[in-house]
Amino acid sequence: MSFPKSGNMLPNRPRGKQSKLSFARLVSTALRSSLKGQSSKIKTVALWTGANERTVKNWLSGERAPSGDHFLGLAANCPAVLAAFLAAIQRNDCLVMADIEEARAKVAAALMALEAVRAVQLETATLPVNEC
């Protein structure tokens, strides 16, 4: 049995390696921008993911990309990683929903703070004033 004559051309560059490099670069850029100015970047990311610190250094440098489980930990704890990933797969509609959810949480926190201030004001208004 012989091989067919057609279809024996190999691509110049391996496609899988290119996509892995760009994914590693995407994660690296998102992490570095998110953690800019923080002195303990490596330890923070290691806590988020449970990964070894050397592994995290490779992610931050863009040499390697995180595995699936580690990526889930990054996306759960770093909104910049999630946003970069969703933008890369052209799912910006999901970004809008995440922004809406974040805004809702901030509004809820602000309402709770306003209620606390109002409660303190009502308490002080009902206290009798000592006359000298």
Look at residue 132 in the predicted model and tell me its pLDDT.
57
Helix intervals (H) in the chain: 15-34, 41-49, 53-61, 68-77, 79-88, 92-126
Label residue 14 exposed, middle or buried (CB < 10 Å: 0-12, 13-18, 19+): exposed
The per-residue pLDDT of the chain, averaged, comes to 85
Confirm whether pTM is higher than 0.95: no
Q: Which letter does DSSP use for residue 3 in this model? A: -
pLDDT over 90, % of the chain: 57
CB 20 within 8 A of CB 62: no
Radius of gyration of the chain (CA): 25
29-64, pLDDT tens digit by residue?
Answer: 999 999 998 889 999 999 999 999 999 999 999 999
CB 30 within 8 A of CB 80: yes
- Signed CA dihedral, 24, 29, 34, 40: sign only: positive
